[in-house]
């Protein structure tokens, strides 16, 4: 398929799935139209790249539904001077969206093979403001703190304390919190009066596994 086919598919995806459901931040909508989503998934699935659902990316992991990527990004209220931490690089797609909107993106995954594939795609698209690392993201990235924005793209049993500690004053942390099957999109804001929590509806993510997340072998 020629590239303009995918461009047209992305524009339709943004109009029918994202703007239609109330995401209105024009910078977020422009980034979702620009980043070539199909490049982040296996080529056998390219004809489904713009479907209104998550897709498998290997290692039992998924690239999130386009609407959820847009909604979480809008919740982060990014400025182009912000430094962002992402936990759960997966395909690298969300990292690319963040890199369009912020100064620098630090992104971590616990699975090295996924990170290596994401690095290849991000480099081939020319991103130079993304730094990657393998490790347990529930511990954050203390060497680079504080972050104006932190996004966790795996479902957590609770908000990991290291992440709120690494948030800048005025910073926003967006994270799905709940049980294994369903979570609530939660925004934690660090203010001079302490942490403020807001809920933004239901979602379903793969599990965040780590010291401040789920235990690897556990069923719940």
For the annotated catalytic residues, the residue numbers are 64
Q: Which residue bears the tokens 């203010």?
A: 191
Q: Which of 137, 157, 176, 178 binds ligand SAH (CB under 6 A)?
A: 137
Q: Which of 74, 82, 100, 109 binds ligand SAH (CB under 6 A)?
A: 109
The Cα–Cα gap between 2 and 84 comes to 33
Nearer to ligand SAH, 56 or 170 (CB): 56
Q: Which stretch binds ligand SAH (CB under 6 A): 1-9, 109-117, 125-133, 174-182?
A: 109-117
Q: Is 96 helix (H, G, I), strand (E, B) or coil?
A: helix
102 is an interface residue for ligand SAH by CB under 6 A: no
74 is an interface residue for ligand SAH by CB under 6 A: no
The Cα–Cα gap between 72 and 96 comes to 14
Binding to ligand SAH, residues 24-53 (CB under 6 A) = none
Q: Is 220 helix (H, G, I), strand (E, B) or coil?
A: coil
Residue from 212, 34, 64 nearest 135 by CA: 212
Binding to ligand SAH, residues 178-207 (CB under 6 A) = 206
Q: In the structure encoding, which two tokens stand for residue 177, read together? A: 């919190």
Q: Which of 91, 117, 166, 186 binds ligand SAH (CB under 6 A)?
A: 91
The Cα–Cα gap between 144 and 148 comes to 11
């Amino acid at each position: 398929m020629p590239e303009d086919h995918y461009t047209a598919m992305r524009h339709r995806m943004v109009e029918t799935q994202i703007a239609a459901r109330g995401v209105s931040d024009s910078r977020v909508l422009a980034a979702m139209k620009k980043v070539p989503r199909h490049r982040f998934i296996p080529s056998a699935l390219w004809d489904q790249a713009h479907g209104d659902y998550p897709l498998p990316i290997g290692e039992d992991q998924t690239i999130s539904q386009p609407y959820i990527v847009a909604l979480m990004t809008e919740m982060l209220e990014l400025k182009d001077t912000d430094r962002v931490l992402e936990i759960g690089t997966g395909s690298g797609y969300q990292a690319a969206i963040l890199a369009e909107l912020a100064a620098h993106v630090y992104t971590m995954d616990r699975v090295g093979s996924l990170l290596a594939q994401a690095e290849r795609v991000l480099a081939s698209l020319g991103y130079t403001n993304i730094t990657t690392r393998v490790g347990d993201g529930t511990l954050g990235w203390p060497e680079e703190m504080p972050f104006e924005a932190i996004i966790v793209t795996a479902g957590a049993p609770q908000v990991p304390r290291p992440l709120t500690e690494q948030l800048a004053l005025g910073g926003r942390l967006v994270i799905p919190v709940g049980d294994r099957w369903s979570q609530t999109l939660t925004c934690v804001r660090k203010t001079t009066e302490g942490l403020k929590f807001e809920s933004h509806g239901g979602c379903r993510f793969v599990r965040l596994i780590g010291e401040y997340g789920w235990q690897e072998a556990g069923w719940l």
